[in-house]
Amino acid sequence: MPDVLTSLAMPLRDAARLLRTATFAAEPVFRPTAKLLPDAVVELVERAIARADDMGDQVLTPPLPGPEDIAAARALLTGEEGGSRLALTRTVAFGLTALLPRFEHEHAMVSESALALITGDATPRGDVGESMARVCRAIVARHVVLVPDGLSLGSDALPVTFATLLWLSLDRNGEQDEIRLLHLAANVTHHVEASLRDADDVALAALFVRLAPVI
């Protein structure tokens, strides 16, 4: 097992998120059936769903990473000193989770464990753009984001991942409004979506390199 998972905190958080996602998916199924059940049973199931919801909500949104975490995550991609896989995992999980509602996937879950496995390959080879493109493709291919119906994000997977990594790659000098920066990266991504979908790995790397200095 990769060292980044050894604390078990990540898989446990994923389990809670999965429970939250599953209860969201189960609720519409339960509603018609509830009419056939005694009130006491309905109340019991509803209470269980609500508790799972509450627990899931507490862990569903990863905390806003601090400047040190973001710097360490960015450094891993750029090949600078001080890179950290744990920071990259947390930061990308935060970015993806924060952007999913923009793509109308409010109830999707981001698996930190799956992300942690990918960030093991994040050691830069080639230039920064190539490194970003490789991690971006890996996140999309490994289905890091799960949606309640069990399907993947489909065509939204690439833009949401690209926007998150673009945000992460931005230069910073001191504290920033990270949510604002994240949404600026998403706005820019929205306007290059057509190029993004047609991009091979070289073009994807070039897009990262071209857009990051503009934001």
Q: Which of 181, 182, 205, 207 binds other proteins (CB under 8 A)?
A: 181
Q: Which of 31, 47, 191, 197 binds other proteins (CB under 8 A)?
A: 191
Q: Which of 190, 195, 202, 203 binds other proteins (CB under 8 A)?
A: 190
Contact between 206 and other proteins per CB under 8 A: no
Contact between 174 and other proteins per CB under 8 A: yes
Contact between 73 and other proteins per CB under 8 A: no
Q: Which of 28, 180, 194, 198 binds other proteins (CB under 8 A)?
A: 180
**Choice between 6 and 173, CB closer to other proteins:** 173
How many residues are listed for the chain in this entry? 215
Burial (CB < 10 A; 0-12, 13-18, 19+), residue 135, is buried
- Sequence-distant (≥ 6) Cβ neighbours of residue 132 within 8 angstroms: 77, 165, 166, 169, 205, 208
Per rule CB under 8 A, count of chain residues that contact other proteins: 17
- Give least dist CB 13 to other proteins, A: 31
H or E stretch at 32 = helix 9-34
Contact between 194 and other proteins per CB under 8 A: no
Q: Which of 19, 103, 176, 199 binds other proteins (CB under 8 A)?
A: 176
- The CA-based angle 163-93-2, given to 5 degrees, is 125
Q: Which of 58, 155, 187, 195 binds other proteins (CB under 8 A)?
A: 187
At 212, the amino acid letter reads A
| Window contacting other proteins (CB under 8 A); options: 2-10, 40-48, 156-164, 186-194 | 186-194
Nearest CA-CA partner of 155 in 185, 189, 197, 187: 197
Tally Cβ neighbours within 10 Å of residue 54: 10
How far is the C-alpha of 185 from the C-alpha of 168, rounded, in Å? Answer: 9
Q: List the beta bridge partners of residue 145.
A: 110
**Choice between 137 and 183, CB closer to other proteins:** 183
Do 208 and 196 touch, CB atoms closer than 8 A?
no
Q: Which of 32, 173, 194, 200 binds other proteins (CB under 8 A)?
A: 173
Tally Cβ neighbours within 10 Å of residue 130: 18
Give the residues lining the site for other proteins (CB under 8 A): 171-176, 180-181, 183-184, 187-188, 190-191, 213-215
